[in-house]
Structure 1
Amino acid sequence: MTTFDQLPDIPGPTALSGGGHPGWNSRAPRPTPAQRRYLEACELGAVEAGDDPRRAVAEAVDAHSATVRGVLEELGDLHSLAALEAVLDLSLLERELLEDDARRRTVALLRVQEALSKLRAVGAVDAIVDRAPRELVQSCGFDRAVLFRVHEGRMVMEAAYFGEDEMGAEKMVAFAQSVAPPLDHMLLETEMIRRRAPAIVRDARNDPRVNRPIVDFSLTRSYVAAPVMPTGQVIGFLHADRLYSGQTVDEIDRDIVWAFAEGFGYAFERTVLLERMRRQQAEVRRALASAEAAAKALQDADLDLRKVEPVEQSPAARLLAEPQSRIHTVLTRREVEVLRLMAAGRTNQQIAVELVISTGTVKSHVKRVLRKLQATNRAEAASTYVRMASQPESWWPGGS
């Protein structure tokens, strides 16, 4: 059944039919079924065409109802008159509910924009991750919110905000991280990854798609969830509920979280890129400072009028240069970068984020590095990388 909130503000019949309207062209959207019904009603004279279809239809309903009421009063049909009054009351109630929903959506959209503007001002990745659930609660009217990330096929909770119940939020994060449910085919979030769309759970205690341990621990009765996917790939999920107020979430709540999750994804991506840029700038500044210091040392060095003998590299200089030259003869530049991060203790996911490549690509690089270094695991490969700076070339796999 078509309702009033599905009828957008549309121009008169001439504009929609394309008849002589100066702005009409072949690329204009076709009228929806509700709009076509409105046009037909206007042509039949049942509705007077106006700028606001909802108001025009409502006025037509009131006018026809007054006519029918007058006829029934003249006939003395009190039963039919009472039935008409009941129908009109329900119609008025429906109209008020639709108007309430429209106002709620408008206010919710403004609150989402306000929350996202605050997130865009955050300059650190860890800070924006912690801030997201809090803004979803404080700005958008939910009682609780949590943020999961997708890591190696599992859901790992990163942050939670439960209002004044800080201890409850901390316990929730600790418990959810200990569970870290896998994204199997039965889980609601797996369906969200496939459909790239939000979801609503009205009866969490009996819904087979939810993760039972997390739902039981959180005591949630209903919740909404939306994927975070700034680049088209789902990297996490936002969940929200109204546990403390005792309300059941609805479609508007789902759409609010969906809009917030989309904006948060872009804000998170921007923060990550800015943080990487700052790290690169710091490295460039250090390199420039080092080069400037070396140039100044050369400039200030004393001159000695004699034949210059070939300068033999110091053992320390050879240790710094030789490992790099040796490793580049065996590994590619990208493989060296991966090995360096492996030695620093980074996970595949962290390496992927830092090098801006997929986790699958990182795994392929790791396999090739292990094979070329004749290492059986990551720890052995990392140990090999560290020993390069302190041992002669004979340690190298296959060396003399």
Structure 2
Amino acid sequence: MSAAHDTPDPLDAPDPDTMPTLDGHPGWGSRPAKESEAMRRYRDTFRDSDVDPTDDPMAVVSEAIDTKANLVRDALEARGDERALKALEAVLDLCALERELIEDGARRRTFALLQVQEALSKLRSVDDVAAIVDRAPRELVESCGFDRAVLFRVHEGRMVMESAYFGEDRDGAEKMVRFAQAVAPPLDHMLLETQMIRRHAPAIVRDARNDPRVNRPIVDFSQTHSYVAAPVMPTGKVIGFLHADRLYSGRTVDEIDRDTVWAFAEGFGYAYERTVLLERMRRLNAEVRQALASADEAARALQDADLDLRKIEPVERSPAARSLAEVQTRVMTMLTRREVEVLRLMAAGRTNQQIAEELVISPGTVKSHVKRVLRKLNATNRAEAASAYVRLASVPEPAGPASHNQPSCL
């Protein structure tokens, strides 16, 4: 799902420092709140009055309006100006309506915050990456009150839909995912999501049928009229997007909906990162246990081996030890001497800067070496590469030419 407002680009209009959050304060929640122009005007207006600084500003202003209105009403009644009295009453009714809308918005924001907290608390119990990816859109719908929600991931410059939840319409959600994956729109400069990547901010689309920034095939297939979207960026880099709408209820989404999805997307990003780390730790733990079991098997094989009275003791390796040695030889053949040094320091917990200082090379060169090491070892991160090095370092290399796997320092 991806809408135009009265202005061509809603993301260009507001300043993030003054955007309302779920608690009604300025900012997206990541910056200290500043005193607004309205609060400064309030203090100036009632500076010479006996207003208690701890009083609710809304209540103080409302009481002042009623007081001034009574004075005007008395003056108009004294003059017998019925037309002006009706106009005054209409203005007062509008003021009362404005106050009700403001109070209603504050209640909605508070309730939305509670809904987001409830949704995120459910995600904390999920310890499987595939499960939490499927669960996120569902919680946006069931806990936060939206009608439909989808989750995209950013992959090779494209938006790839990972999951969708349309309430009872499971068939519709599955069709949406299949269609969106077939389309997989590129993140070009005209797309709304590209703006969110650049600005790290959510967006609201009020007229999806006519907004030039949306992906037209996905919007037409989803039949959405308006929707809100927020980036998922647990480490500061946008890795996906959450979209939500209110198609079934027929209501146009608003700023509170936008802020709700934004708050949920931020919490979901952290929950997803935690789940990924737990899964990687479990996998690493299994690899360590397997390595220990192999080492134990090799030790038992040596311990149980028969003695033979001869000058040279033949070296017999267990199948596990031979397998590890073969892996070590194959991997070390792929790495240059410098890459082996970088891998050794990575396994010791050194940062790129520390490696650069120790090897007297630039951090950029270190970064290039790290990328090549991860690629050659088929490792997704430094931890997996370090684990591979620890396993390999525990097995002695087979005899052979010393310079066989040391072609170049770069």
Distance (Å, rounded) in 2 between the aligned partners of 1:279 and 1:295: 24
- CA deviation vs aligned residue, 1:240-285 (integer Å, no higher than 9, x gap): 0000111111111011000000110111011111111111111112
Superposition pairs of residues 170-185 of structure 1, within 5 angstroms: 170-185=174-189
1:193 to 2:190 alignment: no
Of 141, 147, 153, the residue aligned with 1:149 is: 153
Distance (Å, rounded) in 1 between the aligned partners of 2:59 and 2:37: 18
- CA deviation vs aligned residue, 1:213-245 (integer Å, no higher than 9, x gap): 000000001000000001111000000000011
On the 8 A contact 2:334/2:376 being kept in 1, the answer is no
Counterpart of 2:288? 284
Query: 1:298 offset after TM fit, Å?
Result: 3.7
Distance (Å, rounded) in 2 between the aligned partners of 1:189 and 1:266: 20
Distance (Å, rounded) in 2 between the aligned partners of 1:43 and 1:54: 16
Query: 1:287 offset after TM fit, Å?
Result: 2.0
Of 300, 310, 319, the residue aligned with 1:307 is: 310
What stretches of structure 1 of length at least 5 have no aligned partner? 11-27, 342-350, 358-392
Query: 1:325 offset after TM fit, Å?
Result: 2.3
Query: 1:186 offset after TM fit, Å?
Result: 0.6
Larger displacement relative to structure 2 (250-259 or 291-300): 291-300
Distance (Å, rounded) in 1 between the aligned partners of 2:256 and 2:323: 64
Of 53, 62, 68, the residue aligned with 1:64 is: 68
CA pair 79-47 structure 1, distance change in 2 beyond 3 A: farther
* Paired residue type of 1:195: R
Distance (Å, rounded) in 2 between the aligned partners of 1:314 and 1:157: 50
Counterpart of 1:338? 375
On the 8 A contact 1:143/1:241 being kept in 2, the answer is yes
Superposition pairs of residues 1-400 of structure 1, within 5 angstroms: 31-45=35-49, 49-303=53-307, 306-307=309-310, 309-311=312-314, 321-322=325-326, 324-325=328-329, 327-331=331-335, 332=339, 333=343, 335=372, 337-341=374-378, 354-355=380-381
What stretches of structure 2 of length at least 5 have no aligned partner? 1-19, 26-31, 344-369, 384-400, 406-410
- CA deviation vs aligned residue, 1:77-127 (integer Å, no higher than 9, x gap): 111111110000000000000000000000000000110111111001100
CA pair 241-328 structure 1, distance change in 2 beyond 3 A: same
- CA deviation vs aligned residue, 1:277-326 (integer Å, no higher than 9, x gap): 1111111122223333333444444555x235331557977676356325
SS at match of 1:140: coil
On the 8 A contact 1:9/1:52 being kept in 2, the answer is no
SS at match of 2:188: coil
Distance (Å, rounded) in 2 between the aligned partners of 1:105 and 1:9: 7
Distance (Å, rounded) in 2 between the aligned partners of 1:293 and 1:314: 10
Per chain length, whose mean CA-contact separation is higher, i.e. which structure has more relative contact order (CA < 8 Å, sep 6+)? 2
Task: Please report the RMSD computed on the Cα atoms of aligned residues, expressed in angstroms.
Answer: 3.0
Query: 1:47 offset after TM fit, Å?
Result: 6.0
On the 8 A contact 1:328/1:336 being kept in 2, the answer is no
SS at match of 1:104: helix
* Paired residue type of 1:60: A
SS at match of 1:148: strand
Distance (Å, rounded) in 1 between the aligned partners of 2:161 and 2:169: 17
- Structure with the higher fraction of residues in helix conformation: 1
CA pair 39-100 structure 1, distance change in 2 beyond 3 A: same
Distance (Å, rounded) in 2 between the aligned partners of 1:39 and 1:322: 78
Counterpart of 1:362? none
* Paired residue type of 1:339: K
Name the % identity: 68
CA pair 315-129 structure 1, distance change in 2 beyond 3 A: closer
* Paired residue type of 1:284: V
Query: What is the TM-score normalised by the length of structure 2?
Result: 0.73
CA pair 48-70 structure 1, distance change in 2 beyond 3 A: farther
CA pair 337-43 structure 1, distance change in 2 beyond 3 A: closer
Distance (Å, rounded) in 2 between the aligned partners of 1:322 and 1:291: 15
Q: Which runs of 4+ in 1 moved over 6 A?
A: 314-319
Distance (Å, rounded) in 2 between the aligned partners of 1:51 and 1:248: 35
Distance (Å, rounded) in 2 between the aligned partners of 1:322 and 1:278: 26
CA pair 107-356 structure 1, distance change in 2 beyond 3 A: farther
On the 8 A contact 2:149/2:243 being kept in 1, the answer is yes
On the 8 A contact 1:109/1:256 being kept in 2, the answer is yes
Distance (Å, rounded) in 1 between the aligned partners of 2:286 and 2:297: 16
Query: 1:138 offset after TM fit, Å?
Result: 0.5
On the 8 A contact 1:130/1:160 being kept in 2, the answer is yes
CA pair 356-196 structure 1, distance change in 2 beyond 3 A: farther
